[in-house]
């Protein structure tokens, strides 16, 4: 790593020094979810030499443990909250009110590393720390490599900004005709209805606006968005996201769904949500009954690791499926979380058992401060290769790169086509065996161009054989 390849968060030097000098100074660092420590104005950016000496070296992440690869569904409750009665525990509003948001709360339950402690201290300037008790229970107390903690606990490395990383890595802000409405693709839009989530993922593509802790704010213009949708008759598909739309009350969410559903040319509604995973208690029968009124309505959930599929999550997903909502999953490929076939295979198989179709595997967007979670594209291809043919076809997600700056999702696949010309295609299967497939359609085109008559209904002739292609 070259020091000139890095830009540093201006708080880095101060925070590292504070952390290393006083690792137990836990109290009063965060006010609510937002850190209140020194600001950029208090500390000059480190020089290149300082930066080089202070840049943390990424540590190797050990192979997954067998417990992480279990295909069992387990409940983590009550976990770190042994005294909470089930009625409260199962109340989604209690879960939200009792999220873990401070360093002191974290240290009450977990053994933190210096990198995590320092990460929490700077988190509030970028993306708040918040983890629901349900999801927090999945974090191992003293395993710094726990794949759950890597997703939701801030780390010092978030302060490192590589030159190729961006605040808005997929260029959504450029494609926003109305605040909160992203219109990039011809027939569909992304409607960002809130900036709040049940818990915050450290690699969130929208961390520039999500949680309200960063410099940018989301001010969705609901009326303007509805007027835009009414006027744009080409829009047939509306994806509600944020933030997480399922954090709204049933009434508020229904009002938004209804206002879009009433637009005649909108055929199809989708909700993107990680609430069924972070906060399965929110998927109440009443919510499902409300959602059911707005079909066709599909939902994309977000699960990265098989351990996230708990008993409670499975039941929540089943309630959604029973309400007729087709479910797809979007995983993000994350270093030390799911960057192996050994982890991805039980994940996709467990998803099918929850009636969720693995839909996308995303290459991590080039979000600022995410390089410690980045996985080489070759590893993503290796994972798809290790799934294709080795498990159910329905279980295999499409691996995609969301093209930086706003090019949209581009599918990326292992190369199964070894050779292709106008007469044949040479392919390999999942076992590496090679096959030649005569491209009959192309041969017919060649013959038509050459004026060779082709069989038709009035002049039936035998279809071409392999000998026709290789005389």
Is 201 one of the catalytic residues? yes
Q: How far is the CB of 197 from ligand SF4 (least distance, A)?
A: 3
Nearer to ligand SF4 by C-beta: 197 or 375?
197
Contact region for ligand SF4 (CB under 6 A) — 41-49, 240-248, 284-292, 432-440?
240-248
- The least CB distance from residue 272 to ligand SF4, in Å, is 7
Among 243, 245, 276, 336, binds ligand SF4 (CB under 6 A): 243
188 catalytic, yes or no?
A: yes
Q: Which of 184, 236, 355, 444 is catalytic?
A: 184
Residue 24's Cβ-side half-sphere holds a number of Cα atoms within 13 Å equal to 0
Q: Where are the beta strands (DSSP E) in 15-68?
A: 30-31, 34-35
In the 8-state DSSP scheme, what is residue 159?
G
User: Angle CA(12)–CA(16)–CA(18) in degrees, nearest 5?
Assistant: 120
Is 100 a residue that touches ligand SF4 (CB under 6 A)?
no
Which one of residues 51, 166, 204, 395 is an interface residue with ligand SF4 (CB under 6 A)?
204
Active site residue 206: yes
Q: Does 346 bind ligand SF4 (CB under 6 A)?
A: no
Whether the CB-CB separation of 141 and 79 falls below 8 Å is answered with: no
Active site residue 365: yes
- Annotated catalytic residue: which of 204, 282, 399, 424? 204
409 assigned to active site: yes
Residue 200 is a binding residue for ligand SF4 (CB under 6 A): yes
Q: Single out the segment in contact with ligand SF4 by CB under 6 A; choices: 94-102, 183-191, 217-225, 237-245.
A: 237-245
274 touching ligand SF4, by CB under 6 A: yes
Question: For the purposes of burial, counting CB atoms within 10 Å of the CB of 279, is it exposed (0-12), middle (13-18) or buried (19 or more)?
Answer: buried
DSSP state of 43: S
Strand ranges (E), 102-212: 160-161, 181-182, 188-192
Q: How far is the CB of 243 from ligand SF4 (least distance, A)?
A: 6
CA distances from 152 to 155, 280, 467, 470 (A): 9, 17, 61, 59
Q: Please, what is the minimum distance in Å from the beta carbon of residue 26 to ligand SF4?
A: 24
Strands (E), 294-355: 297-301, 327-332
Instruction: Name the phi and psi angles at 273, rounded to 5.
Output: -150, 140
Answer yes or no: are the C-beta atoms of 160 and 9 closer than 8 Å: yes
3-state secondary structure of 410: strand
Residue 185 annotated among the catalytic residues of the structure? yes
Question: 124: which 2 tokens?
Answer: 């509030």
Minimum distance from residue 366 beta carbon to ligand SF4 (Å): 15
Question: Which of 197, 218, 287, 373 is close enough to bind ligand SF4 by CB under 6 A?
Answer: 197
The encoded tokens of residue 65 equal 């443990």
Give the separation between CA 39 and CA 222, rounded to whole angstroms.
34
CB 385 within 8 A of CB 374: no
Q: How far is the CB of 167 from ligand SF4 (least distance, A)?
A: 14
Query: Which of the stretches 197-205, 304-312, 320-328, 437-445 binds ligand SF4 when contact is defined by CB under 6 A?
Result: 197-205
Measured from the CB atom, is 252 or 420 closer to ligand SF4? Answer: 252
Residues that bind ligand SF4 (CB under 6 A): 197, 200-201, 204, 206, 210, 242-244, 274, 302
Catalytic residues: 184-185, 188, 197, 201, 204, 206, 365, 402, 409
């Amino acid at each position: 790593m070259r020091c000139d390849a890095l830009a540093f968060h201006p708080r880095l030097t101060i925070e590292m020094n504070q952390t290393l000098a006083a690792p137990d100074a836990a109290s009063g660092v965060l006010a609510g979810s937002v850190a209140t420590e020194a600001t950029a104005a208090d500390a000059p950016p480190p020089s290149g030499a300082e930066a080089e000496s202070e840049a943390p070296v990424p540590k190797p992440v050990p192979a997954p443990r067998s417990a992480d690869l279990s295909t069992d569904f387990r409940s983590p409750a009550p976990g770190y909250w042994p005294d909470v009665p089930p009625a409260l525990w199962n109340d989604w509003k209690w879960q939200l009110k009792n999220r873990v948001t401070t360093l002191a709360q974290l240290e009450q339950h977990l053994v933190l590393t210096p990198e995590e402690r320092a990460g929490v201290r700077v988190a509030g300037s970028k993306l708040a720390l918040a983890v629901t008790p349900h999801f927090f229970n999945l974090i191992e107390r003293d395993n710094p490599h726990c794949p759950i903690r890597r997703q939701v606990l801030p780390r010092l490395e978030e302060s490192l900004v590589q030159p190729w990383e961006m605040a808005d890595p997929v260029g959504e802000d450029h494609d926003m005709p109305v605040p909160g409405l992203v219109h990039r693709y011809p027939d569909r839009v992304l409607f960002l209805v809130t900036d709040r989530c049940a818990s915050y993922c450290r690699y969130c593509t929208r961390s520039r606006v999500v949680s309200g802790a960063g410099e940018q704010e989301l001010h969705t213009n609901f009326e303007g968005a509805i007027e835009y949708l009414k006027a744009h008759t080409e829009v047939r598909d509306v994806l509600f996201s944020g933030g997480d739309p399922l954090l709204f009350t049933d009434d508020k969410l229904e009002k938004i769904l209804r206002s879009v559903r009433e637009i005649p040319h909108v055929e199809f509604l989708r909700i993107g949500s990680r609430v069924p995973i972070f906060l399965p208690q929110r998927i109440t029968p009443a919510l499902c009954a409300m959602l059911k009124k707005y079909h066709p309505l599909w939902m994309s959930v977000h699960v990265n690791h098989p351990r996230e599929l708990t008993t409670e999550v499975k039941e929540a997903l089943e309630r959604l499926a029973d309400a007729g909502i087709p479910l797809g999953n979007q995983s993000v490929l994350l270093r030390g979380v799911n960057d192996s076939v050994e982890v991805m295979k039980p994940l996709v198989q467990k998803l099918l058992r929850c009636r969720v179709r693995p839909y996308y595997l995303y290459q991590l967007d080039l979000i600022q401060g995410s390089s410690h979670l980045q996985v080489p594209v070759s590893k993503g291809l290796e994972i798809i290769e290790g799934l294709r043919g080795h498990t159910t076809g329905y279980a295999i997600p499409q691996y995609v790169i969301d093209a930086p700056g706003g090019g949209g999702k581009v599918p990326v696949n292992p190369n199964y086509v070894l050779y292709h010309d106008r007469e044949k295609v040479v392919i390999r299967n999942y076992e590496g065996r090679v096959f030649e497939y005569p491209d009959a359609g192309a041969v017919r085109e060649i013959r038509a161009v050459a004026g060779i008559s082709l069989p038709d209904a009035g002049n039936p002739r035998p279809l071409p054989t392999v000998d026709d292609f290789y005389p």
